Structure 1
């Protein structure tokens, strides 16, 4: 596939920068186990990239849980408080973010997380890294983001926060989730996908480029400054 040069970069957070997708699985399974249910990878695929209220509705409905979506959100919040402060940065993420920041490439965060969830994940161990993002869009808390991924709203809103208002084709998105890739493409942006290895090949086809790790990314493919030797 041909890659087109870009000037601005948007990053998803969960499962791309931080290992929180693994932690979401633990938290959700802890909750649904109380009702004799399993939180499967197939269900997880449907949810990745969704806003918090959308996720709760889908889980409660799909698993026929005897709770309301609001009650499910309250239960998850308690789980998140326990496990999110110990998040880890995934391979290649810190190096890429620091490299782009050093070379004055405009970068933004476009996460479906709420502000409260973001702070749980970041404040204890990763504030310095995330301070490199001058522009942050948190979909579950942002009134401008009307719909979660796979709709394009979050990436269009995130791009609009750059002072020079780049066109969609000037933006490159980094994502791990199928819904996130769909959202980026719907926004008219190129997207680099770093999927969970369990994601079927057929679900990766919309991505501009698929990598096993952010460590494998070559910025110059998209006209960005190459790594220093």
Structure 2
């Protein structure tokens, strides 16, 4: 018990209070990363290739044309970027409406909304794919009034791991907070690097298969958002 208390004190000493929160979406709010894997593997299987977890880690957080090019190159597929996106779009039109909320995320976002903490969405998805993914969760996503779709927003010139999306997303808050006042929730290595490059703290909730030695850039690493304690970052305590 004493060791646990000391550990928590050490964590608190390294964390800084924040006033605004930004959320990634794929694999963090929604289980769409599982669906992406299914879709990409369907295309790869046509050519006898495997969409590996290592390649998945490489592309997570990238914009649409970026990840398409990475997969084509990584698997040596005889396709153009446009052809790959057209093929996967057909698959995802069926898969994405099936997506579900990840554990703990609804409780946290509703809690922050209730306590008037400014919250926003910073996803690399296009507006088109976003609409498919949230079709069964429209009311919930209304809780996130400030939204940035990286693959559709002309101000987001580069995908993650570059900081563009988080800087653009933070600028959409009416009071335009300093980067150090923003906390980012991410699941991907590229997303963590982007948040850090933007000068923001970042809570990482990675895939359980990811080597934890690769997560050193994250401010805090959790197995699930269910483990998050808002007070560690100066945010309101949960009511229960």
TM tier, shorter chain? over 0.9
Could you say which residue in structure 2 is the equivalent of 1:94? 106
> Within 2, Cα distance between the matches of 1:127 and 1:52?
23
Q: For residues 68-97 of structure 1, give each alpha carbon's deviation from its aligned partner in whole angstroms, at most 9, with x where no partner exists.
A: 011000011001001000101000000000
Per-residue deviation, 1:61: 1.0
Could you say which residue in structure 1 is the equivalent of 2:8? none
SS in 2 for 1:98: helix
Alignment equivalent of 1:68, drawn from 63, 80, 91 = 80
Could you say which residue in structure 1 is the equivalent of 2:30? 18
Q: For residues 23-73 of structure 1, give each alpha carbon's deviation from its aligned partner in whole angstroms, at most 9, with x where no partner exists.
A: 000000001100110000000000000000001111111111111011000
Matched, 1:199 2:210: yes
Could you say which residue in structure 1 is the equivalent of 2:129? 117
Matched, 1:221 2:232: yes
Q: For residues 110-132 of structure 1, give each alpha carbon's deviation from its aligned partner in whole angstroms, at most 9, with x where no partner exists.
A: 00000010000002x10011000
SS in 2 for 1:35: coil
Alignment equivalent of 2:56, drawn from 19, 44, 60 = 44
Q: Which runs of 5+ in 2 are unaligned?
A: 1-10
> Within 1, Cα distance between the matches of 2:150 and 2:113?
23
Could you say which residue in structure 1 is the equivalent of 2:139? 128
SS in 2 for 1:108: strand
SS in 1 for 2:46: helix
Could you say which residue in structure 2 is the equivalent of 1:77? 89
> Within 2, Cα distance between the matches of 1:17 and 1:65?
31
SS in 1 for 2:202: strand
> Within 1, Cα distance between the matches of 2:160 and 2:138?
25
Number of aligned residue pairs? 228
Per-residue deviation, 1:201: 1.4
Alignment equivalent of 1:178, drawn from 180, 189, 192 = 189
Q: Which runs of 5+ in 1 are unaligned?
A: none
Using structure 2 for the length normalisation, give the TM-score: 0.94
CA RMSD of aligned residues (A): 0.6
SS in 2 for 1:192: strand
